[in-house]
C-alpha cells in the first residue's frame, strides 16, 4: 500500500488572491528554469543533476521553476521503480538553497502505458503519485509583483498514450485565477508541452502544434499582461516573440539525449531569467555536464 509522502516545498493555494503588489521599476529578482531533468540512478544522471543544482546555488536565484519530466520514467514503470525515482528527485531537489516550483511532464505520469504492470485502478495512477509527492498539478503563485501560473498540459488517451491538452476543469480554474489577478500584473506561464514552437515546422511536422487547445488558454490571457511562456518537452532551445505581445522560451534540457549527449544539438543546460521592473532578460547556462560526461567516457574507455 502506498505510503503518504510530504512534499518538500509548500505548494500555494489554487485560488490566488487579488494581486496587490505591482512590479516597480526598482524591483528586481532572478529565477532559474530547469526542464527535462530525466533523473534516474543510472548513467551518472544523479551526478549531472547535482552539477545543475550546484550551478543554480552559485547563481543564487530567488527560486527555481521546473518544466516537467523530472524523472525517467514512470509511464511504463512498476510501483517500486517509480517510487524510487520520485524519492530520488525529492531528496536531491532538497539541495537547492531556494524554493522549487515543479511542473508535471509526460514521463511523470504514473502507469499510463499499456506495458506498465500497474493498472488504472491503482490509487497513484496518472497524477496520483505526483500529487502525493509534490501537490497539485496546476497552481499559481506571486513573487515581487509578478504572477506565475504553472499548468498541466497532459492527459491520457483511450489507447493508453499521453495526450497534450488542457483539461476543462483546469481551464475553469485558470479563468478564475485570472479574474482574481489585476490585468496590469506581469504574468509568466509554465507548461511542459509547448504552446508555441518552431520545432515541428523545422522537423517537417507542420501539422503538429503542441498542446492541442492552447488557443483556449491564450484567449483567456488576452487583456492580461502576459510576459513570458516557459516550456520544455522537446529538449530544444528557442526564443520567440509574438506580435509585440509576449515572449516564449523553450528551455533546452538538463539531461540532453537521455544523458548520452546533446539532443537536436542543444547543449545540456538551463535558463536563467533576470527580472527588472516589468522587463526581463535571459541566458542559457551550461552546468558542465557535457565536459564531465566526456571525461568519464574517456576514463572508462579501454
CATH topology of domain 28-300: Purple Acid Phosphatase; chain A, domain 2 (3.60.21)
pLDDT of residue 13: 40
DSSP 8-state code for residue 11: P
- Which one, of 107, 25, 39, 56, lies nearest residue 258 by Cα? 39
Domain boundaries, the chain: 28-300
The DSSP code for 131 is: H
Q: State the Cα–Cα distance between residues 67 and 105, nearest whole angstrom.
A: 7
What one-character-per-residue DSSP string does 189-233 give?
Answer: EEESS-SS-SHHHHTT-TT--SSTTHHHHHHHHTTSEEEEEEE-S
The backbone torsions φ and ψ at residue 217, rounded to the nearest 5 degrees and listed phi first, read -65, -40
The three cell numbers of residue 11 are 505548494
Round to whole Å and give the CA distance between 71 and 92. 12
Instruction: Spell out the per-residue pLDDT of the chain, length 302, in tens.
Output: 333 333 344 344 444 444 445 666 578 999 999 999 999 999 999 999 999 999 999 999 999 999 999 999 999 989 999 999 999 999 999 999 999 999 999 999 999 999 999 999 999 999 999 999 999 999 999 999 999 999 999 999 999 999 999 999 999 999 999 999 999 999 999 999 999 999 888 888 776 769 999 999 999 999 999 999 999 999 999 999 999 999 999 999 999 999 999 999 999 999 999 999 999 999 999 999 999 999 998 888 77
**Which residues are CB-contacts of 205 (< 8 A; sequence separation ≥ 6)?**
199
Residue 150 forms beta bridges with which residues?
A: 139, 190
Residues 6+ apart with CB under 8 A from 24: 145, 277
Which neighbouring-strand residues pair with 231? 191, 250
Q: How far apart are CA 244 and CA 254, in angstroms?
A: 30
Rounded to two decimals, the pTM is: 0.92
pLDDT of residue 117: 96
pLDDT for res 38: 98
Which residues have C-beta within 8 Å of that of residue 84, sequence separation ≥ 6? 41
User: What pLDDT is attached to residue 23?
Assistant: 61
| Separation of alpha carbons 15 and 139, rounded Å | 8
Q: Kindly tell me the burial class for residue 119, based on how many C-beta atoms sit within 10 Å of its own C-beta (0-12, 13-18, 19 or more).
A: exposed
CB contact set of 299 (below 8 Å; sequence gap of 6+) = none
Retrieve residue 180's grid coordinates: 482574481
DSSP-assigned beta bridge partners for residue 126: 110
pLDDT of residue 291: 94
Residue identified by cell 522587463 is 279
Amino acid at each position: 500500500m502506498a505510503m503518504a509522502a510530504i512534499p518538500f516545498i509548500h505548494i500555494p493555494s489554487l485560488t490566488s488572491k487579488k494581486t496587490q503588489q505591482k512590479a516597480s521599476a526598482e524591483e528586481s529578482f532572478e529565477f532559474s528554469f530547469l526542464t527535462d531533468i530525466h533523473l534516474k540512478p543510472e548513467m551518472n544522471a544523479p551526478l549531472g543533476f547535482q552539477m545543475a543544482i550546484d550551478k543554480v546555488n552559485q547563481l543564487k536565484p530567488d527560486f527555481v521553476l521546473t518544466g516537467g519530466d523530472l524523472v525517467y520514467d514512470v509511464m511504463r514503470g512498476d510501483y517500486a521503480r517509480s517510487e524510487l525515482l520520485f524519492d530520488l528527485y525529492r531528496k536531491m531537489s532538497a539541495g537547492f538553497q531556494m524554493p522549487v516550483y515543479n511542473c508535471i511532464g509526460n514521463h511523470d505520469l504514473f502507469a499510463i502505458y499499456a506495458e506498465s504492470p500497474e493498472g488504472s485502478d491503482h490509487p497513484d495512477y496518472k497524477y496520483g503519485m505526483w500529487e502525493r509527492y509534490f501537490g497539485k498539478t496546476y497552481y499559481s503563485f506571486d513573487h515581487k509583483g509578478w504572477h506565475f501560473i504553472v499548468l498541466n498540459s497532459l492527459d491520457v488517451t483511450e489507447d493508453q498514450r499521453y495526450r497534450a491538452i488542457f483539461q476543462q476543469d483546469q481551464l475553469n480554474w485558470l479563468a478564475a485565477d485570472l479574474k482574481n489577478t489585476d490585468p496590469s500584473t506581469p504574468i509568466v506561464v509554465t507548461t511542459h508541452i509547448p504552446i508555441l514552437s518552431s520545432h515541428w515546422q523545422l522537423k517537417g511536422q507542420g501539422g503538429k502544434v503542441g498542446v492541442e487547445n492552447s488557443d483556449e488558454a491564450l484567449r483567456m490571457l488576452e487583456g492580461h499582461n502576459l510576459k513570458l511562456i516557459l516550456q520544455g518537452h522537446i529538449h530544444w532551445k528557442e526564443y520567440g516573440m509574438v506580435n509585440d505581445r509576449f515572449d516564449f522560451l523553450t528551455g533546452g534540457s538538463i539531461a540532453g539525449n537521455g544523458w548520452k549527449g546533446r539532443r537536436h544539438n542543444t547543449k545540456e543546460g538551463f535558463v536563467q531569467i533576470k527580472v527588472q521592473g516589468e522587463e526581463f532578460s535571459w541566458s542559457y547556462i551550461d552546468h558542465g555536464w557535457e565536459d564531465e560526461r566526456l571525461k568519464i567516457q574517456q576514463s572508462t574507455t579501454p
